[in-house]
Amino acid sequence: MKLLVSHFHQGEGKFPTFSAGTAVRLGSECVNYPNWFACEIDGWKTFVPSHFISEDKLICDYNPTELVAAQGERVEFLELHYQWAIVKRENEIGWLPCEILRVIG
């Protein structure tokens, strides 16, 4: 499915992919995005969806990189996790908030 970015999004930098089984130190739940938690993974501060964690460990490989996206860009939808989508743009894969994405033909 193709999506159109309706508003500019500034990501928080690039992150490595953390392997399933990596320890996660959870912080507080995100106020703006329920079911997302502040966390620390291998010394990196980021956020993680609650269903990616069990017993303080990742249950799947996880890369929290958000894409920097300009208004009017087109991306391909890959996965939905609560209020965020994993999308592909050319050779980049990353997260964008659903609130700035619109379905196009």
CB 66 within 8 A of CB 94: yes
| pLDDT(105) > 80 | no
Tally of CB atoms within 10 A around 58: 19
- List every span in the chain annotated with CATH 2.30.30.40: 1-14+65-105
| Local structure of 19: helix, strand or coil | coil
Fold of the 1-14+65-105 domain: SH3 type barrels. (2.30.30)
Does this model's pTM top 0.75? My answer is yes
DSSP 29-78: EPSSSTTEEEEEETTEEEEEEGGGEETTEESS-B--PBPPB-TT-EEEEE
pLDDT tens-digit series, residues 10-69: 999 999 999 999 999 999 999 999 999 999 999 999 999 999 999 999 999 999 999 999
Q: Which of 98, 75, 99, 104 is nearest to 88 (CA)?
A: 75
Q: How confident is the model at residue 87 (pLDDT cuts 50, 70, 90)?
A: very high
